[in-house]
Structure 1
């Protein structure tokens, strides 16, 4: 089953306007029937593609997942309602719940057991979610970065529709939601650099370097994006999936400095650094964005690469110490506050796995 799941996922990776502000065909990113990055992305070719497929099928899995499920900090609806303004919780992978301006917002909600087109095969969740879909409070908006299965989970999105006021998506992704029965008047589709305001908060779809597609033969049918979030008081950046590219500096110039950057740091490899950043590139992206605090996401949930399950967190902890980057890495389900950060602690190590982080730092000036 595991092998078949990887074959399906590898196939998606390899082959791969109704409610929007701009029709798909009018987007500068859309031509020749598909969306494009601002500049051609680095990607493996020839023998490297064969090597990639071979590694996925026969990789060493001894360190792919932790020996036991990672401990999480359980959450309840009552806890969330009583939580302080500016609280942020990682719920797993790239799913982040935010309490901003008295409302709740969530990014890329994936509550499925597998990041796969089917739930009987493919990468299985090794860290439980700290809260159920049913216990989540009403949401002002769901913010989606792109259409891949580890970021856009149909069942989660459909179940959240009844308690969500608005879905914010890159161009084309909203059409998928409409096809799943979500009312069009609940969806806003944005091109890069377009902004939507929901409940007083500005969301700008910013560029990313990635790709899209949910089938073997679909090649970039929908747009991918990162997001700049401005509450009127704080600025937050959510990367979605992206390789490192010059666009981070432009985003930093236009929308920075950011109080907090939520940057993908996991499921990386030198063979596909054009679409997923290496740890050193994550640090550079944070600096380009003029970020103050960095919270790595896209890790500690699914086995999607060749590296050990804890390598992303260990590397980010080491690099932040070397480079003087202010890093916070809460346990899944543990709150981070925009005005009172917890400095990163290695909670995932076996000796500390039951001990929550306990070093708090009051937010001050931005790192430029």
Structure 2
């Protein structure tokens, strides 16, 4: 999610308050908005070197908006924004696949930043959004036609649910609740677990981590990595939960999912820490010159992939929602151009296609070409 979408959601919430009074307050306090960390969970956050007064901060400055404009000015600018080709004219192509019986290490892109992975015998979901809206409001942030093709009923038991941060286009309440009875463990940044506790998940099933920490699941290792972004499902819990990415390691393969976030020196540091990664999945969309520090432009995403020593680069945070001014396919086009210039193998599978994970990933067609 980007800052303007967040502001629009807040504005919509304000409208609910204005029109509904106590009813609006009740809506904004409903379960879908999650909860704030408290008790022992809050005490753990206060020990983190990445917070100040219980609020998480980026390693490098990431201002709300580049021009430091206020909420009212930003909202007005958002409402007046003219967009060209914000969504495809026809349903986007995808593959219907049965992920219940995958035996080998494999990846399935489900659109935007959502992935199903089979690694070391475990079923893993990252940031699943199976709803038609990446928002608490039915009139905001609707998915492109053809991209809502997966339901919770299509999923097997999920051993590990990984959440990069708590924005609505990454942590989708209806999806989580539909999957609840088949989720083994939730892996998320510090503070994000409070939402799951409110939603009835057992505390022992929630594994929270800070940047630089790791979890060991035998052949599978999961590392919490730095990102340059922000968090919050409403104004009252802004930046009270940590945003992050993940590195997943199994014998013979290493995958990096950046989560949302702008470019920064942390990518070079990750390259120095982990060495080469076989696949770098990078935030490459919903960018804008007005918020350059919290999402990467495609050329920055390519550079970030080079920084971490990626053998293959996959642009993500695209292909499902319109959260910025650029055309729906611009990130694909620019990422392909820049990756070609840098001789970096581009990896762009169709949504739903099963890809076996090996060190030499097969080239994928530019499926967006020719689509309006």
* TM-aligned CA deviation for residue 219 of structure 1: 2.5
Q: CA deviation at 1:274?
A: 0.5
C-alpha displacement of 1:128: 2.1
Aligned to 1:73: 95
Does residue 26 in structure 1 map to residue 39 in structure 2? no
The 8 Å contact of residues 134 and 168 in structure 2, kept in 1 or not, is answered as yes
Q: 1:140 aligned to 156, 159, 162, which one?
A: 159
Cα deviations by residue, 1:167-188 (Å, 9 ceiling, x for unpaired): 1000000111111111111110
Assess if the C-alpha contact under 8 Å between 1:21 and 1:189 holds in 2.
Answer: no
- TM-score, structure 1 normalization: 0.86
1:37 and 2:58 equivalent? Answer: yes
Q: Is the 8 A contact 1:19 1:188 kept in 2?
A: no
Give the structure 2 partner of residue 104 of structure 1.
123
Report SS of the residue matched to 1:92. coil
How far off is 1:22 after superposition? Answer: 7.9
CA contact (8 A) 2:84 2:325 kept: no
Which sections of structure 2, spanning at least 5 residues, go unmatched?
A: 13-36
Distance in 1 between the 2:130 and 2:240 partners? 24
Aligned to 1:122: 140
CA distance, structure 2, for counterparts of residue 11 and residue 45 of structure 1? 20
- Aligned counterparts of 1:276 and 1:36: Cα–Cα separation in 2: 16
Out of 137-146 and 17-26, give the one that drifted further.
17-26
In the superposition, relative to structure 1, how do residues 349 and 8 fare at CA in structure 2: closer, same or farther (>3 Å)? same
Tell me, in whole angstroms, the C-alpha distance in 2 between the residues paired with 1:167 and 1:48.
36
Q: Over residues 77-111 of structure 1, what are the superposed CA-to-partner deviations in whole Å (9 max), with x where a residue is unaligned? A: 4xx41x45121110011001111112211101111
Distance in 2 of aligned mates of 1:164 and 1:278: 34
Cα deviations by residue, 1:241-284 (Å, 9 ceiling, x for unpaired): 01001111111111231011111111111211100001111011
Which has the larger displacement, 131-140 or 235-244?
A: 131-140
> Following the alignment from structure 2 to structure 1, what is the Cα–Cα distance between the partners of residues 78 and 93?
27
Residue 9 of structure 1 is matched in structure 2 by: 9
The equivalences for 1:294-305 within 5 A come to 294-305=313-324
The equivalent residue for 1:209 is 228
Cross-structure match for 2:368? 348
Which sits farther off after the overlay, 28-37 or 283-292? Answer: 28-37
Q: Deviations over 1:300-347 (max 9, x none)?
A: 100100000000111111111111111110111112222252324221
Change (3 A) 1:157 1:219: same
Contact 1:260–1:294 (Cα < 8 Å) also in 2: yes
Q: How many residues are paired up? A: 341
Structure 1 gap ranges (5+): 354-368
Structure 1's 109 and 231: CA in aligned 2 closer, same or farther, altered over 3 A?
Answer: same
What SS does the corresponding residue of 1:270 show, helix, strand or coil? coil
**CA shift digits 1:177-201 (9 cap, x unpaired):** 1111111111100011111123531
TM-score by length of 2: 0.85
Q: Return the alpha-carbon distance in structure 2 between the equivalents of residues 289 and 189 of structure 1.
A: 24
The residue aligned with 1:236 is 255
Report the secondary structure of 2:110's partner residue: strand
Alpha-carbon distance in 1 for matches of 2:139, 2:164: 24
Q: Structure 2 residue aligned with 1:196, among 202, 208, 215?
A: 215
